[in-house]
Amino acid sequence: MTKEVKILSVLSLTVFVLAMYIWIGSRRVRIADDGKSQLGNGAEIVQEKPAPDLVKIESDYRENTKNILRSYEEMINEEDLLENSEKIKEVNDLEDDLIGLTVPEEFKNLHVNFVLALNKIESYAKNGNKEDMSKGLLMIQEIKNQYTWTN
């Protein structure tokens, strides 16, 4: 055999082995009747979720925010709040509920300001700094003025 034939044989064998490796190693994807994609080895591919319903998210956010604000207004009383561990916990729970909401893009500023206001009020309840309470109440009033649907 000549040197060129040997090189050509080795190169052909290498290409054949590589093609077999790719063919055997590849996994076929099939779509099952239930709409799930399955790989040849039994694993499943999770299909992408549909786009969120932005109108529902906004509606839910408005309703939940109004409820939280209403709960806050029913609970808040400066004298009762100061160093009252139960009231501090209630403010903290409201803040946690608010933080847990899905926030539409257009209400991100409202959301941040509302969380900060509750944080200021919680701070007042813990340390008695009236300036924190004043700032928190002012922030709540600004939210109510800017977003009239919160009233």
Answering whether pTM is above 0.75, one says no
Q: Which residue has the higher pLDDT, 35 or 87?
A: 87
Average pLDDT, the chain: 78
Are the CB atoms for 144 and 98 separated by under 8 Å?
no
Cα 116 to Cα 42, 46, 101, distances in angstroms: 49, 38, 15
pLDDT band at 34 (very low <50, low <70, confident <90, very high): low
Kindly list the domain boundaries of the chain, sorted by start residue: 3-45, 54-150
CA gap 123, 130 in Å, rounded: 10
Residue 58, pLDDT above cutoff 60: yes
The whole-number average pLDDT for the span 62-86 is 76
Residue 69, pLDDT above cutoff 80: yes
Residue 148, pLDDT above cutoff 80: yes
Beta-carbon contacts of 73 under 8 Å, excluding residues fewer than 6 positions away, are none
- Beta pairing partners, 37: 31, 45
- Listing from the earlier edge strand, what are the strands of the sheet with 29-31? 29-31, 37-39, 44-45
CA gap 136, 36 in Å, rounded: 50
pLDDT-above-70 percentage for the chain: 75
Residue 2, pLDDT above cutoff 80: yes
Cα 79 to Cα 75, 120, 130, distances in angstroms: 11, 16, 11
**Tens of pLDDT along 8-29?**
888 888 888 888 777 776 655 5
